[in-house]
Chains A and B, each alone.
Chain A
Amino acid sequence: MPDTQALVNDFISKLKKRKIEGSQATAKQTAELLRSVISQTRVPYTNQAAALIQSVKAVGERLIAANPVELAVGNVVRRVLHIIREEDLSLTTAAMAGLNLSAVSDDEDDADRDNQPVLSAAAIAAASRSTLRPPSLQTLLEDVPDSAAIPHTSSSGGDSEGKSKSADKSSRSRKLKHDVIEAVNELIQDISTCHEQIAEQAVEHIHQNEVILTLGSSRTVLEFLCAAKEKKRSFRVFVSEGAPRYQGHLLAKELVMRGLQTTLITDSAVFAMISRVNMVIVGAHAVMANGGVIAPVGLNMVALAAQKHAVPFVVLAGSHKLCPLYPHHPEVLLNELRSPSELLDFGEFSDCLDFGSGIGAPLLHVVNPTFDYVQPKLVSLFITDTGGHNPSYIGEMYRLFVVSACGEGMNFKSEIMRTNCIAEGNFVKSSIRMRGINFFGKLEDRKSQFFCGCGEM
């Protein structure tokens, strides 16, 4: 436990000091940290999910506060919370499926079961299945007939009933944690492979002899362009240098190393060049729930130029960059003001910053914002791990991603959620909550309706 605490503190101080750069690295490290937090959390016999959620939340809040600008941290925390709830839900439903069956087969233990949710071997079997195959209502429903056979075999010996109950308890808690860690591992895997997944789609978007413009440097963009090149597409790239950090220079170098025809231009030349460009492809810092993009400074200008010349503006974003918050949300800090020394040399301008004379206040202000906000209407297309999406679909996209992290068949489920939550404006956020605590809390009471509902769907 103190070990994780140290890890958390270490990570927090790194976040605070802005020592971790890039949302992918941040997302990955956050997920890894949360994984170790989960594995170190002691789980009580009852309500394990709540305990896990609590500890992850506690850590998550501190992480988010450490660097509120890095939205990827919050995104990953939310995803992990979601994973816990999903796993718990699937375990419980699996347990209940087993419960129903065993109730049919064995009536003697009714009283016990009413007092506390005791699981039979069927539940374990179902749960173990669910780890092999991503759990979902659909699979659950499919599984029911199969798993029905198991309890009969396992609970044949009446005297072993008591033992297996206690064993169930501990194994269930281990199960939940195990499942959650498995799912978080998948998430980490997703985050680390998102570049490749996005890059796979490159050929669908980049065509022969096209001219692509990009600004600054983004690993996703680099992989994307190179993937197209590997597929024998020949095209040219304009790289805008991306002042004041000039990461475009690095990207240009990198592209040339990989054999792409590259032209480096200044940021101020973007408008002049845009008429020759077929498509603008850029990376993002975060994608907000309304489809707006928080991106390296200068991109709004590029987006406006692209709009003026009707050039498609394509944003590449891994799923960890999708944020369920709105840009006008008070807790979303949109920008980070970095050191002015990136713009100009302090020594050269030290005489402009002499407060000893005049009014005692600097006449020279140097402002160095890191990000731009690009309105959703300026974005033509988002390309994510799962394919291209229209900005107006981005809210849906978020749900898709959250859901897809847990497996297939979730469209079906998200439909339920949307019908529940669509009335509330902030449907993405509330849908999580609905599927999380609220919904889950009422699950016990409403299990019959729930299943009926599912059946009808």
Chain B
Amino acid sequence: MGAQKKGATARVSEDQEELARNPLQAILLADSFATTFRPITLERPKVLLPLVNIPMIDYTLAWLESAGVEEVFVFCCAHSKQVIDYLESSQWSSQPNFSVTTIESHNSISAGDALRLIYERNVIHGDFVLISGDTMSNMSLTQVLQEHKERRKKDANAIMTMVIKKSKPSPITQQSRLGTDELFMAINPVTKQLLCYEDKAERSKGFISLDKTLIADNPSIILHNDKQDCYIDVCSQEVLSLFTDNFDYQHLRRHFVKGLLVDDIMGYKIFTHEIHSSYAARIDNFRSYDTISKDIIQRWTYPFVPDILCGSSAIKVERQGAYRASDVTLSRSAHIGSFTFIGQGTKIGNDTKISHSVVGEGCTIGSNVTIEGSYIWNNVTIEDGCQLRHAIVCDGVIMRSGAVLQPGVILSFKVVVGQQFVVPAYSKVSLLQQPTQQDSDEELEYADNTSGTGELRSDKLNGDIATDLSETAYELGTGGVGYIWSVFEGAQDEEWKHSVAPIPTDKLVKLMLDKDEDEEQLTQDGNVLSASGELKADSDDNGSEDDDNADSRDDYGFFEKEVEATFLRAVHENVKVDHAVLEVNALRLSYNMASVDCAGAIFYSMMKLAVESPHHSASELHRNAADIITKWQKLLKSFLHDIDEEIEVILKFEEMCLESAKEFAALFPQVLHLLYDKEILQEDAILRWADEKEGADESDKVFLKSSEKFVQWLKEAEEEDEDD
């Protein structure tokens, strides 16, 4: 016997020699600090909600135990009593080598508060696993712990390792299969350091920003959008004290992770560990509840699957993934489809069809009922002829004959649906009245989920709920009991995104159309960037720009207009030249233009002003132009750094004379001379322009010819210089 015991312990410690020195601890947050599972979570904590007929927390604890965690601190806040009672009566209280300790709090409103409280208790003595009670996994912790410890040895600032998993977000809805928003992570592929974590990338902007120093510090960065955050973190002790130091940290990701990534004073680092073959996911909303239930039924979480995890009642897996408890009363004509779970003691009537659903224990289901993709918890009565599609039906619900649940319906505990009543899609029904309109402020979102509501409920339930309800209108048909919660303003749009029901096709089509439009917009924007790059390269010979795409011209057009407006304002408001330069420079940066473009645009604006200001003859126009050029030559000069830019000005002028300001056509040589006199243009630029134009078409040579004399004179002057 002694030998045997030794053998057993030896095996255990083999996996975790490292851990043996210090028992591995875990903090399990048995409160989501969110309201996504309302109205169900008003009456029962989220971690005790059944997932394929087993409370979520059992999956989490079973995994922690098998992963070699020896001590778990369960932090409970909302409905803490229920959680504690459940844990005490469950198998977890009597496991050898696995202790479950509960920590109760009544006033924590966020994960940050929870961790601060745990820090005060001083129970964590080393590295620990931070997980919430709604996380399923079957991964092995050995490797991630080892990696974490090794990193710690090298760098004491590596305080956290996040577990991530590959999962592509849908290209149409921009959300992952778990119903969470698209997540962007920048990771150093070599060190696996997390550099950027963006879970709410603003769609409207269509871009995410990366700090430039990241690129300087890391030789390579991989930006992922196909990674899913598993919400399993291996943390060092410092994490707890960090929460205490930064008392405003509430949310683990939004505040803590982002805070650490931004803060470079302390230099703390977060690393990632990607799992491949094993499974890990967190139930965040009803969509993930649905998805993870299906994953469990499909056995991705093996060995944490119902037939193995359910100790007491024998559950057998039959063909096509149909799980059935041993004592189900099933009518001969009932049809149990694939990937369905039927719990103990459930009775199912004639011609009833059930597929892709979970039916809990002790349910009574009548004849001719259709159940599709729904989650029916324990002791539910469904009378004849009901239809359920993609709904969640909590304990003790009664559905009178002929009632219909449309996709996405949530029926909370003990609701009664009247005969023939059709519950509209995505409605949430509860015996409890909807709490008054919440503030949509993120921080306040947490505050409601405290145990206060739980107390309130029990009073109410024990009391005269029937009389209470009889006064209300029959919201749920004749004999129906319960309130239909109204959907908050603005949230209506989002409801279908996170519901148990699959996204309806019309929404998908709409999204797809939106998306196409977006994409067009995006490609435009995208082209802007590349086109401007081209512009820079091509600016030597703007003549070839003709066949450049229209988009870039458009954008240049915008820029030109902006510059013109700035210039006019400068003229009218007598802005100092320096300030005007600054403004134009800002425009240049925001439109991503080169100084060549600025020179062109400014000159264009100046000439346009000259044309537009009142004049009666060509000489007056010339005078106008001369005045403006004299006055604003400094502005123009500040953008004429080299000869290319000067040529651009000539070309621009040429263009204007041909198109927008034909009156200048006659004055071309004069203005050119003027520009030369004012030392805006050097003779080199003019000569080069002339050389370039020499080989051009006759039509292009119009201005060259008109200014031939001037050019000739310049050439001679140059020769004379050389002669000297």
- A residues contacting B by CB (< 8 A) are 3-4, 6-7, 9-11, 13, 16-19, 29, 32-33, 35-36, 39-40, 65, 333, 337-342, 345-348, 350-351, 353-362, 365-366, 368
**A7-B4, A10-B8, A361-B373 known; A366+B298 contact, CB < 8 A:** yes
- Shortest distance between the CB of A194 and any CB in chain B (Å): 19
Which A residues are CB-close (under 8 A) to B3? 32
Query: Which residues of chain B have C-beta atoms less than 8 A from A357's C-beta?
Result: 170, 172-173, 502-503, 508
Given contacts A339-B299, A346-B277, 5 further A-B contacts (CB under 8 A): A3-B1, A17-B66, A340-B300, A350-B168, A353-B294
A347 in contact with B165 given A362-B294, A365-B298 (CB within 8 Å): yes
What is the minimal beta-carbon distance from B327 to any residue of chain A, in angstroms?
14
User: Which B residues are in CB contact (< 8 Å) with A6?
Assistant: 96
Q: Which 8 residue pairs are nearest across A and B when measured between Cβ atoms? A: A347-B166, A360-B502, A339-B302, A36-B1, A350-B167, A354-B177, A341-B277, A361-B356
A354 to B173, CA, bound (A): 11
Q: For chain B, residues 505 to 521, give those with C-beta under 8 angstroms from any C-beta of chain A.
A: 508
**Main SS of the interface on chain B?**
loop
Interface residues on B, range: 35 or more
B177 lies within 8 A of A341 (CB): no
Q: Of residues 425 to 476 in B, which have CB atoms within 8 Å of A's CB atoms?
A: none
Bound CA span A6–B9, Å = 13
Given A9-B96, A347-B167, A353-B177, verify A368-B299 contact (CB < 8 Å): yes
Question: Of residues B179, B311, B316, B338, which shows the largest number of chain A Cβ atoms within 10 Å of its Cβ?
Answer: B311
Is the CB–CB distance between A356 and B303 below 8 Å?
A: no
148-181 of chain B: CB within 8 A of chain A: 165-168, 170, 172-173, 175, 177, 179
Quick one: which of A11, A16, A346 contacts B165, CB cutoff 8 A?
Answer: A346
CA of A342 to CA of B279, assembled, Å: 11
| Structural contact, B8 and A7, CB atoms closer than 8 A | yes
* Given A18-B303, A347-B166, A340-B278 contact (CB < 8 Å): no
- A359 touching B502 in the complex, CB below 8 Å, given contacts A18-B308, A346-B279, A366-B298: yes
Q: Do the beta carbons of A362 and B279 come within 8 Å of each other?
A: no
Q: B291 within 8 Å of A by Cβ?
A: yes
Residues on A with beta carbons closer than 8 Å to the beta carbon of B308: 16-18
| A333, chain B: closest CB distance, angstroms | 7
B298 near A362 with CB under 8 A, answer yes
Q: Are A355 and B294 CB-contacts (below 8 A) given A17-B66, A39-B1?
A: yes
- In the complex, are the beta carbons of A32 and B295 less than 8 A apart? no
Give bound CA distance, A368 to B168, whole Å. 24
Contact B373 A16 (CB under 8 A): no
How long is the Cα–Cα vector from A361 to B177 in the complex, in angstroms? 12
Contact assessment for B168 and A356 in the assembled complex, using a CB-CB cutoff below 8 Å: no
Distance in angstroms between the alpha carbons of A28 and B278 in the assembled complex: 29
Residues of B with C-beta under 8 A to A358: 502
Closest to A33 in B: B4
- Contact at B311–A16, with CB atoms within 8 Å? yes
Q: Are B8 and A339 in contact (CB under 8 A)?
A: no
CB distance from A257 to the nearest CB of B (A): 23
15 contacts between A and B (CB under 8 A): A7-B1, A13-B65, A16-B308, A17-B308, A338-B299, A339-B279, A340-B298, A345-B276, A347-B166, A347-B167, A353-B294, A357-B170, A357-B173, A357-B502, A365-B321
Contacts of B179 in A (CB 8 A): 356
Closest to A361 in B: B356
User: B361 at the A/B interface (Cβ < 8 Å)?
Assistant: no
Give chain B's interface residues, CB within 8 Å of chain A: 1, 3-5, 7-8, 62, 65-66, 95-97, 138, 165-168, 170, 172-173, 175, 177, 179, 226, 276-279, 287, 290-291, 294-295, 298-303, 308-309, 311, 314, 316-317, 320-321, 338-339, 355-356, 373, 390, 501-503, 508
Residue in A6, A39, A339, A365 with the greatest tally of chain B CB atoms within 10 Å: A339
CA distance A29 to B302 in the complex (A): 23
Contact B503 A356, beta carbon cutoff 8 Å: yes
Question: B507 → chain A, closest Cβ, in Å?
Answer: 9
Contact partners of B1 in chain A: CB under 8 A? 3-4, 7, 35-36, 39-40
Inter-subunit contact B290/A355 (CB<8 Å): yes
Chain B residues, CB < 8 A from A33:
4
- From residue A294, how far is it (CB to closest CB) to chain B in Å? 16
User: In the complex, what residues of A have CB within 8 A of residue B320's CB?
Assistant: 365
Asked if residues B317 and A356 are in contact (CB atoms below 8 Å), the reply is: no
CB of A16 to closest CB in B, whole Å? 6
In the assembled complex, the Cα of A337 lies from the Cα of B297 at a distance in Å of 11
Q: A338-B299, A368-B299 are in contact. Are A19 and B66 (CB under 8 A)?
A: yes
Q: How far is the CB of A64 from chain B (nearest CB, A)?
A: 11
B299 lies within 8 A of A7 (CB): no
Contact A337 B4 (CB under 8 A): no
Would A341 and B278 count as touching, CB distance under 8 A? Answer: yes
Write out the residue numbers on chain B whose beta carbons fall within 8 Å of the beta carbon of A340.
298-300
- Give the Cβ gap from B540 to chain A, nearest Cβ, in Å: 47
**Choice from A7, A11, A356 contacting B177 with Cβ under 8 Å:** A356
Nearest-neighbour CB distance to chain B for A1, whole angstroms, equals: 12
Tell me the smallest distance from the CB of B654 to a CB of chain A, in Å.
56
List the A residue with the shortest CB-CB distance to B177.
A354
Given contacts A10-B8, A357-B508, A361-B356, contact A341 B279 (CB under 8 A): yes
Minimum CB–CB distance from B38 to chain A (whole Å) comes to: 21
Q: Are B166 and A350 in contact (CB under 8 A)?
A: yes
Which B residues lie within 8 Å of A65 (CB)?
A: 314
The CA-CA distance from A359 to B407 in the complex, in Å, is 11
Q: Please, how many angstroms separate the alpha-carbon atoms of A347 and B281 in the complex?
A: 12
B7 to chain A, nearest CB (A): 8
- A35, A337, A353, A359: the one within 8 Å of B299 (CB): A337
